Structure 1
Amino acid sequence: MEVKGITIAIYLACVLVVKLLWSIFKWLWLNPKRLERCLRQQGFQGNPYRLLYGDTKDRERMLLEARSKPLPFLSNHHLSRVLPFFHHTLNKYGKKSFVWNGPVPLVTIAEPELIRNVFMKINEFQKPQSNPYFKQVATGLVQVEGHHWAKRRKLLNPAFHMDKLKLMHHAFWASSSAMIKEWEKKTSKTGSCEIEVWSYLQNLSADVISRAAFGSSYEEGKRIFELITEQIMVAMPLINSVYIPGWRFVPTRENKRMTKIDKEIRNLLKDIIQKRKKAIKEEEKLKDDLLGLLLDSCLEEIGHENKKQSYTKLNLEEVIDECKIFYLAGQETTSTLLVWTLILLAKHQNWQQRAREEVLNTFGNVIPDFHQLNHLKTVNMILQEVLRLYPPVSELNRTVTKDIKIGEVFLPSGVLVNLPILLVHQDEELWGNDAKEFNPERFNEGIIKASKGNMSFFSFGWGPRICIGSNFAMYEAKLVLALILQHFSFELSPTYAHAPSAVGTLRPQFGAPINFHLL
């Protein structure tokens, strides 16, 4: 009887091992070859599949090489530096191509009408879930899908309406004014001074979010931003490499650091949340900011009498997730938009002067008014053109969740879709022969006219999942730029090296030194 039991155990163990090996074989070879065959039958071209790694090693090698040297002075031909392997693939195979993201093919979709389809079919094209490192960095609304996303989005939308931004106007101004005063102090002795603006703009965006969205000062949130920045630097190589299931549980130095950072961020956010909950319990008015709205959604937990049953209740961890992603996305998006705006206006003095004249004619030297900021046509044209040439995110990826046909293209379940923002934004077939030139005039009659009605401009995404904080970012950028133009003229420092680099967002690899002159 005992021998029979051992035999059964051995048999079951063998069955499990065989099933495991079969699953690994399917993941590593059968599925990739099936997907590759399907794509090639439709005319897509790419490198042959290489076991496990695909194109990731070549991609990493070319990226390191590209980042080793800057571009010629302020060249907008930066696709080859920002996404060198993608640029290489386009040159070799054309737009109808794919690259291997480990054992998964990443298919390029660059036709405007197909891009529109991908953005609209949010259930069939979902955010990639295969790499847990990305999920650890980008939490909350960015990651949830289906009805959970729909309810969460409905809950958060009111926090980003223009009427809510109006209530935050003073907080926006207080943060921006503090930076302007520091720059004035630096330039006061001689009337001019070189300032490395990238670090200032990162701190400014962090302060704005802390004040406007969470009611705290930058000092309270400073450690959170430092940790998020470090987490991005640790995570990016892990995100861009092949993820082997279960690897994040291996106690490597990177894994341990990621876990430690995440824990510290959550503890700091938890402290901010607990302070606010305590204030609510002491019958203080619920603040009309993002954190107030999030806490209003979980009032069952904190015992508020005016809880709204129609809302999806968020638990504490979900509130922390939303706080974290807003800290990350809000700071990165606005600071990168502002830094490239200052760099381009420092080069194109004619547009700097046009923008300054508009600001001074509208506000003079007084504090910019909330409503009038939205009527700065030239400033808005400039910001749209900066977003076209230097979008905060260079590409968006989606997972195909089931077999689907868009246009004449059949996409099998399991492939990844790449929407190459930077490529489409600078496509001469869509934007004309001057597609890579800085020309805000193209937005004189708005985005639809500039893009000829095509889906060729989507720096904040598009469709149902368009970035929820786009109004927040644009409003902050307009206010900060207006204040800078009121107080300074500026040009690029001779020490500036033009080196756009995608590390989470598109940022200047070697900083942005600019010479400022008091007006």
Structure 2
Amino acid sequence: MIEIVGKVVISIIVVVAVRLGWKILNWAWLNPKKLEKLLKEQGYKGNSYRLLKGDLIELATMVKEARSKPMPISHDITSHVLPYDHYIFNKYGKKYYIWFGPKPRVYVMDPELIKDILTRPNEFQRPQHEALRDSIIGGVVVSEGEKWTKHRHIINPAFHLESIKNMFPAICLSCSEMIKKWEGLTAGSGVAEFDVWPYIDNLTGDVISRAAFSSSYEEAQNLFGIQKEQMDLAIKLLFLLYLPGGRFIPTKANKKFNENRNKLQTIARGIVDKRKKAIETGEASNNDLLGILLESNSKEIKEHGVGMSIEDVIEECKLFYIAGSETTSGLIIWTMVCLSLHQEWQIRAREEIMEVFGTQELHFEGLRHLKTVTMILNEVLRLYPPATMLLRATHKETKLGDMMLPSGVNIIIPIICVHHDPELWGEEATKFKPERFSEGVASATKGKGSGCFLPFGGGPRICIGQNFALIEAKVAVAKILRRFSFELSPSYKHSPFAVFSLPPQCGTHLILRNI
């Protein structure tokens, strides 16, 4: 009897081992080779698949090399920001792929195909598991299907223009406080040379703290401070996160990352619970993002029985920071760099701001009259897009244009490459020319469609916070230009690098002068 049981146990172990071995073999070699063959049949080119590592080693080496030193001052930043992608593009042409471990990433740069992908979100979804993204970002950005539809519907009222208008005083207050700090630095001589990046970075965090969580301002500041540390840690853990079980390897950074994750949940839950109780007792207003979100969620539950869970609301709160702070700080800082390099546009923008507002306080209605500022911001968004790429995936065999993409392929829309493409934007695609937007975005893309200009994505899943970001940027630029002129410092180092957004790796040293 014991012998029979022993044989059965051994048989089970063998069967399990064989099945597990087959799965590993299929994941690590057979499926990648099958996908490689299918992609080549569709006319795509790339390096041959190499077991497990794919192109990761070369990619990491080139990224490390690019980040080890600044680049020459130029708006032609693609080779510095995405060095390996740029290298493969030059080697194989626009129809190329790279190996991110055992997963191929197909690059799509044709505007019509991009538009097709973004208008079919149910067929071209975000990858179900994406290590770096999932370690930081949650909420509506990563939701799919019915969950995304419901959450987007609930969140929408928080970003209506009327809601943003109510947050306008908070935006102005944060900007004014930053200006006062700069006035302190320039007091006396009227001139100061310093790194403006930390101030801009703090500004946008301050704005979203007030606008999203006005009655929990201090807790929000703490929440966002930890969230920023998480983003820095995620970069250190970049390739470790893509190893199976990598987040459980007991490194110092991993341990700190997991501690912070728990802290974030506790702080965010405390903010949400406190606000819910205050609303229920009539002690809190609903004029900030969190209040509007909770009110909209409560209405959804009353009308349809199901809304967002507390965990869902917490994820949206954490997302507010990255979506509302990181992208806008990049837009403002690169605008200051561009206006430092192109003084004629700095002068034109200042003249327009003075014409619209004079020396009076800014008012919400006046922002729509800032035509030159809008042109400048659009050009900065084109040259220095907040997100350098969009990631989608096929979950079944899917038709795209005249191609059939196999299941299990990741699709990259390299926004920064599209924005710098001479075939779409002309020979001066890498030049700062805001006048290209003088007749609006549609005219600037010369009839090539919405797939050419993607600073906030596109299609039904276009960034919900784009109006908030643009209004905040206009307020900041208007207040700065009315009070200071500025130029690049001799110590300035041009160093855009891609993380979740496009910050300056070496800061932004400028010379500011009182006006």
TM-score (norm 2): 0.96
Choose which of 463, 466, 470 in structure 1 pairs with 2:462.
Answer: 466
8 A Cα contact 1:392 1:459, kept in partner: yes
Aligned position for 1:244: 243
8 A Cα contact 1:56 1:241, kept in partner: no
Structural mapping, 1:228-243, within 5 Å? 228-240=227-239, 243=242
Matched, 1:345 2:339: yes
Which amino acid in 2 is paired with 1:495?
Answer: S
Matched, 1:320 2:314: yes
Structural mapping, 1:97-108, within 5 Å? 97-108=96-107
Choose which of 477, 490, 498 in structure 2 pairs with 1:502.
Answer: 498
Which amino acid in 2 is paired with 1:165?
Answer: I
8 A Cα contact 1:421 1:459, kept in partner: yes
Residue 274 of structure 1 and its aligned partner are, at CA, apart by 2.5
Aligned position for 1:30: 30
Aligned position for 2:71: 71
8 A Cα contact 1:236 1:504, kept in partner: no
C-alpha RMSD of matched pairs (Å): 1.7
1:500–1:149: structure 2 CA closer, same or farther, 3 Å change rule? same
Residue 186 of structure 1 and its aligned partner are, at CA, apart by 1.5
8 A Cα contact 2:237 2:254, kept in partner: no
Residue 241 of structure 1 and its aligned partner are, at CA, apart by 5.7
Query: Deviation above 6 Å: which 4+ runs of structure 1?
Result: none
8 A Cα contact 2:367 2:474, kept in partner: yes
* Separation in 2, partners of 1:240, 1:50: 17
Structural mapping, 1:198-277, within 5 Å? 198-216=197-215, 219-240=218-239, 243-277=242-276
Unaligned stretches of 5+ residues in structure 2: none
* Separation in 1, partners of 2:21, 2:254: 26
Aligned position for 2:385: 391
Aligned position for 1:21: 21
Deviations 1:293-312 (A, max 9, x none): 3323554xxxx9x9632374
Structural mapping, 1:39-118, within 5 Å? 39-72=39-72, 74-118=73-117
Task: Find the residue that maps to 2:27 and give its secondary structure.
Answer: helix
Residue 258 of structure 1 and its aligned partner are, at CA, apart by 1.9
Task: Find the residue that maps to 2:198 and give its secondary structure.
Answer: helix
Aligned position for 1:423: 417
Residue 234 of structure 1 and its aligned partner are, at CA, apart by 1.7
Choose which of 497, 502, 510 in structure 2 pairs with 1:514.
Answer: 510
1:21–1:187: structure 2 CA closer, same or farther, 3 Å change rule? same
Alignment coverage as a number of residue pairs = 513
8 A Cα contact 1:96 1:108, kept in partner: yes
Deviations 1:93-114 (A, max 9, x none): 1111100010011011000000
* Separation in 2, partners of 1:240, 1:250: 12
1:461–1:311: structure 2 CA closer, same or farther, 3 Å change rule? farther
Matched, 1:407 2:401: yes
Choose which of 432, 436, 445 in structure 2 pairs with 1:442.
Answer: 436
Q: Identity percentage over the alignment?
A: 48
Aligned position for 1:484: 480
The 10-residue stretch of structure 1 (235-244 or 448-457) with the greater mean CA deviation from structure 2:
235-244
Residue 239 of structure 1 and its aligned partner are, at CA, apart by 4.1
Deviations 1:412-469 (A, max 9, x none): 1101101010100010010001100000000000001101232210010000000010
8 A Cα contact 1:210 1:216, kept in partner: no
* Separation in 2, partners of 1:508, 1:247: 28
Which amino acid in 2 is paired with 1:48?
Answer: S
TM-score (norm 1): 0.96
The 10-residue stretch of structure 1 (83-92 or 208-217) with the greater mean CA deviation from structure 2:
208-217
Unaligned stretches of 5+ residues in structure 1: none
* Separation in 2, partners of 1:8, 1:25: 25
Aligned position for 2:279: 280
The 10-residue stretch of structure 1 (276-285 or 488-497) with the greater mean CA deviation from structure 2:
276-285
* Separation in 2, partners of 1:358, 1:516: 20
Deviations 1:348-399 (A, max 9, x none): 1100000000000000011111011022100000000000000011111111
8 A Cα contact 2:496 2:504, kept in partner: yes
Which amino acid in 1 is paired with 2:388?
Answer: S
